[in-house]
């Protein structure tokens, strides 16, 4: 089961209050949207996926970006929902591809119903997201469509990559498309819908991309550094992440042989391996400095995110964006 990481537990009290209230409003709007779909056979699947507990981070960024350029939250509510629908669709499809049986502590859609029904539910969510985004004009609609295309391409890179040939540049390109593209589109579209000028739109777009890259690297890193063995799922599925890429690219032949032997032990058989072998691999990467390297990369992208919005007017919403980078950095 993929663990969910929350920002508000680490954030400034004012930001925490803002996040909780905005998230409550987003949840209410999602519930209203789901209730309007009763004519669809897939309504139970869509409602189940949408109303499970989530961070609502992407719609939050849409709203904050709009407010940072003087826009009103009410004006961009449907657009914010579109990004949550798109994100939820990717989670449904990811769970199918990865064979994950749980999402946010409950059975994933394909386990509760079937793979075929889950695929259709994800497709329906994408169609609904496009419909909501169409209310905001051609520029935003094209951006949403482009981000969906990039998500597919990034996912393909993920499932076809292998540790032996993976490079950091390829990993970053993959997460720019698979993960950061939706963050970037969220802040870009929020700024456009909020009435931002070209400089403001460009600044918030860069914030979203840099924040999104940092978020995904942090997410990958926490799988390794937190208690448990979440990183084993990536190894089992042949997925690459930056901690492994860093170690693989810097180890000597003896260390490489040890890594290959450990991998062989971890992937042998259909059942998950015993905890001691997994802990051994975790310690190898920690001692090699791979975790510290990832933290440095995260900090670099977060600094770039903050720098990108330095020219924006000083408002509480700009401050909230900056506080979000601090909260992400502090997550352990």
Segment 141-168, tens digit of pLDDT: 999 999 999 999 988 988 887 776 568 9
To which H or E segment does residue 321 belong? helix 316-330
Spatial separation of the C-alpha atoms in residues 304 and 208, rounded to whole Å: 10
Number of neighbours of residue 255 by Cβ within 10 angstroms: 14
> Taking every pair of C-alpha atoms in the chain, what is the biggest distance, in angstroms?
62
**Residue 54, pLDDT score:** 85
**Residue 15, pLDDT score:** 87
**Residue 260, pLDDT score:** 78
Q: Is it the case that residue 65 has pLDDT exceeding 50? A: yes
Q: Would you say residue 204 lies in a domain?
A: yes
Q: Would you say residue 129 lies in a domain?
A: yes
> What value, to the nearest 5°, has the Cα angle with vertex 2 and ends 229 and 88?
165
Give the pLDDT band (50/70/90) at residue 280.
confident
**Residue 259, pLDDT score:** 81
Specify the higher pLDDT residue, 174 or 259: 174
Give the pLDDT band (50/70/90) at residue 2.
low
Considering its fold, how many domains does the chain have in total?
1
Q: Note the pTM of the prediction, 2 decimals.
A: 0.92
**Residue 167, pLDDT score:** 85
Radius of gyration for the alpha carbons in the chain, expressed in angstroms and rounded = 20
**Residue 1, pLDDT score:** 45
Spatial separation of the C-alpha atoms in residues 85 and 81, rounded to whole Å: 6
Q: Would you say residue 1 lies in a domain?
A: no
Q: Return the top range by mean pLDDT from 164-168, 235-239, 262-266, 304-308.
A: 304-308
Q: Would you say residue 2 lies in a domain?
A: no
Length of the chain equals 332
Q: Would you say residue 3 lies in a domain?
A: no
The mean-pLDDT minimum among 40-49, 60-69, 241-250 falls in 241-250
Q: Would you say residue 242 lies in a domain?
A: yes
User: DSSP secondary structure string, 178-207?
Assistant: IIIHHHHHHHHHHHHHTT--HHHHHHHHHH
Q: Is it the case that residue 6 has pLDDT exceeding 70? A: no
Q: Would you say residue 79 lies in a domain?
A: yes
Q: Would you say residue 69 lies in a domain?
A: yes
Spatial separation of the C-alpha atoms in residues 156 and 239, rounded to whole Å: 11
Structural domain for 301, as ranges: 8-330
**Residue 299, pLDDT score:** 97
**Residue 11, pLDDT score:** 57
The mean-pLDDT minimum among 101-105, 191-195, 203-207, 304-308 falls in 101-105
Residue-averaged pLDDT of the chain: 90
- CATH code where residue 320 lies: 1.10.600.10
């Amino acid at each position: 089961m993929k663990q969910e990481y929350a920002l508000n537990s680490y954030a400034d009290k004012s930001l925490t209050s803002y996040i909780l209230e905005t998230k409550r409003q987003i949840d209410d709007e999602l519930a209203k949207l789901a209730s309007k779909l009763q004519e669809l056979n897939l309504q139970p699947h869509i409602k189940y996926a949408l109303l499970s507990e989530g961070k609502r981070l992407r719609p939050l960024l849409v709203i904050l970006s709009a407010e940072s350029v003087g826009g009103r939250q009410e004006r961009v509510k449907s657009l914010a929902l579109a990004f949550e629908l798109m994100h939820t669709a990717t989670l449904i499809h990811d769970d199918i591809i990865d064979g994950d049986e749980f999402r946010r502590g409950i059975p994933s859609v394909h386990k509760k119903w079937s793979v075929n029904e889950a695929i259709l539910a994800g497709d329906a969510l994408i169609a609904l997201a496009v419909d909501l985004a169409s209310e905001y004009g051609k520029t935003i609609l094209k951006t949403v469509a482009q981000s969906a295309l990039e998500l597919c391409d990034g996912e393909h890179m993920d499932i076809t990559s292998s540790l032996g040939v993976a490079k950091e540049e390829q990993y970053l390109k993959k997460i720019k498309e698979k993960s950061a593209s939706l963050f970037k589109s969220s802040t870009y579209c929020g700024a456009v819908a909020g009435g931002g000028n070209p400089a403001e739109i460009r600044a918030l777009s860069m914030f979203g991309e840099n924040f999104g890259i940092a978020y995904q690297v942090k997410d990958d890193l926490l799988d390794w550094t937190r208690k448990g063995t979440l990183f084993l799922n990536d190894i089992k599925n042949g997925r690459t992440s930056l901690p492994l890429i860093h170690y693989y690219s810097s180890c000597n032949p003896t260390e490489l042989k040890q890594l290959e032997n450990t991998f062989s032990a971890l992937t042998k058989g259909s059942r998950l391996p015993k905890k001691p072998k997994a802990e051994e691999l975790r310690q190898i990467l920690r001692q090699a400095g791979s975790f510290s390297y990832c933290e440095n990369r995260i900090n670099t992208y977060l600094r770039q995110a903050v720098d990108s919005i330095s020219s924006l007017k000083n408002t509480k919403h700009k401050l909230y964006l900056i506080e979000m980078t601090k909260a992400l950095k502090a997550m352990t």
